[in-house]
Amino acid sequence: MVGTIEDEFESEPKIFMADALTPGRVVLGIDASSLEEAIGQVFGRIASTELPLPVDRIVKAVLERERAMSTYLGNALAIPHARLEGLDKPVLLFARSDAGIPIKGREDKAHFLSSCSPPRAPRACRCACWPRICGLIDSEYVVERLRRAETHAAVVEAIRAAEPMTQ
Outline where DSSP puts E strands in 82-141: 92-102, 109-116
Does 139 map to a domain? Answer: yes
- Expressed as residue numbers, the domain containing 112 is 17-166
Does 105 map to a domain? Answer: yes
**Domains of the chain: total:** 1
Contact 21, 152 (CB under 8 A): no
CATH number, domain containing residue 27: 3.40.930.10
Give the distance between the most distant pair of CA atoms in the chain: 45
- CA 105 from centroid of its chain's CA atoms: 22
Q: With 0.85 as the threshold, say if the pTM is over it.
A: no
Does 88 map to a domain? Answer: yes
Taking only the tens of pLDDT, the chain with its 167 residues reads 455 555 555 555 556 666 678 899 999 999 999 999 999 999 999 999 999 899 999 999 999 999 998 888 888 888 898 888 887 777 889 999 999 999 988 888 999 988 877 665 555 444 456 667 777 777 788 888 889 999 999 998 888 887 655 45
Does 8 map to a domain? Answer: no
Does 42 map to a domain? Answer: yes
Does 100 map to a domain? Answer: yes
Between 130-138 and 140-148, two packed helices, what is the crossing angle to 10 degrees?
90
How much is the pLDDT for 26? Answer: 94
Neighbouring CB atoms inside 10 A of 35's CB total 22
Between 140-148 and 152-166, two packed helices, what is the crossing angle to 10 degrees?
170
How much is the pLDDT for 8? Answer: 55
Residues facing residue 116 across a β-bridge: 92
Does 12 map to a domain? Answer: no
